[in-house]
Amino acid sequence: MVQISFEFFPPQTDRGRTNLLRTAHRLGAFRPAFYSVTYGAGGSTRERTFAAVARLREAGLNVAPHLSWGSDDEAHVLGLLASYRKLGVDRLVALRGDVPSGIGARGQVRHAEDLVRLIRRRVSEPLKLEVAAYPEVHPEAPSAAADIDYLKRKIDAGANGCITQYFYNADGYFYFRDSCIAAGIDVPIVPGVMPITHAANLMRFSDKAGAEIPRWIRKRLEELDGDGDAVSAFGAEVVTALCRRLLRDGAPGIHFYTLNKAGPSTAIAAELGLG
């Protein structure tokens, strides 16, 4: 069975909070396994993330909050986790997370592997844990082989599955998946997909995140920039074709990075017949 999920960021305004719930309900037509909610660098969106998760849970939706160490100690992490459990959360996305400026210098950085081990050691109730994977190699990893080793350590610590950074090269995903299998990683590796709606924003964010935009896509987006409808149409065509191949050739599902917008992900999922 194909696993579909959608990712949100915690909104800052009342309008954004209302829109988030509307977006989630609209995407519910595709029967997602869960909706994830991101967690800012060093826990900078802690309250907003919790509020978004609570609001979605009150609406009866399955939610997987992102959780990372930041500068928190074990007590703070476990306290937040206990609050999520009271909401009925049964899945988390365990991350190192973005490191805010100055944290590393104080020796506070701990990794997702450590967070997974802490949760498995201290939480007895059933809890699914997802971790991040990087088909195009994490920007800070010394090598592709080392990156896969880091991933295997997270799985060995008790993670149940992986969600990848978004990408636009299906061959890269399948090569990565096969390399993971060869390394003894036997959990689902769900590809993350970012709909294309705004050329300049995508390029800026991708350059920062270490996500490669193939040259042919980048050049076409440069040509279309300024024509929002044309960019959206081209983006929908490209990402739908990417998803179709991923699912055809054995990817276990799709995780959509929605940017809190229903339209682009809805168009792609509908074209794929996921509804």
pLDDT in tens, 190-228: 999 999 999 999 999 998 888 999 999 999 999 998 899
Please report the sign of the dihedral spanned by the C-alpha atoms of residue 115, residue 163, residue 88, residue 126: negative
What digits encode the pLDDT tens for the residues 12-52? 999 999 999 999 999 999 999 999 999 976 666 789 999 99
pLDDT at 225: 81
Catalytic amino acids?
7
For the chain, give the mean pLDDT: 92
Comparing CA positions, the residue from 168, 195, 185, 163 lying closest to residue 265 is 195
**Side chain identity at residue 31, one-letter code:** R
pTM reported for the whole predicted model: 0.93
Span 51-97, pLDDT tens digits: 999 999 999 999 999 999 876 788 989 999 999 999 999 999 999 86
CATH topology of domain 3-271: TIM Barrel (3.20.20)
Domain definitions of the chain by residue range: 3-271
CA 142, chain centre distance (Å): 22
Stretch 138-149: mean pLDDT, rounded? 95
**pLDDT at residue 107 in the model:** 46
Return the structure tokens found at 69.
């160490």
Q: Is the pLDDT of residue 104 over 90?
A: no
